[in-house]
Amino acid sequence: MLARRAAITQAGAMDEQYFMYNEEIDWCLQMWRAGWEVWYLPTARIVHYGGQSTRQVRHTMVQALYRSKVRFFRKHYGPAAALALQSAFVTVLRIKWHIRTLAARERSDTTGPPIGWHDLQSSVS
């Protein structure tokens, strides 16, 4: 990402409260709201080996992703929007949990799903 010093001075630096994920989206929105144009180059090509830096702590990174999205919504759209998003995440995670539980039963797997219900609540808090 490239930004003019004047734009950073006016809109502010990236929000350091994001651990990972969404910080660049947040910053672009800050720039745009401060009156700066936000451009991207759709013809640019990069090689991204997705998940290479996070695969060993995948569960933790999924939690960080959800938290960042909720933080973004709280910051820019208010607590009600953040709560709605958080509720949607919890609903989707519940559905996934139930599917994994049913699949484990079908396999006669006594270990159950790889993620516990208590983990779902902490994922989006």
Spatial separation of the C-alpha atoms in residues 122 and 93, rounded to whole Å: 11
Instruction: Examine the pLDDT at 56 and tell me if it is beyond 80.
Output: no
Predicted TM-score (pTM) of the model is 0.67
Question: Could you give the dihedral angle defined by the CA atoms of residues 45, 47, 51 and 53, in that order, rounded to the nearest 10 degrees?
Answer: -110
pLDDT digits (tens, 9 = 90+) for 15-38: 999 888 899 999 999 999 999 999
- Both tokens of 22, joined, read 């969404």
- Both tokens of 80, joined, read 């009600």
User: What per-residue confidence (pLDDT) applies to 109?
Assistant: 54
User: What per-residue confidence (pLDDT) applies to 19?
Assistant: 84
Instruction: Examine the pLDDT at 97 and tell me if it is beyond 80.
Output: yes
Q: Who has greater pLDDT, 49 or 27?
A: 27
How far is the CA of 75 from the CAs of 23, 41, 68, in angstroms? 12, 27, 10
* 4-18, 25-39, 43-57, 72-86: least confident range: 43-57
What is the phi/psi pair of residue 78, to 5°?
Answer: 100, 170
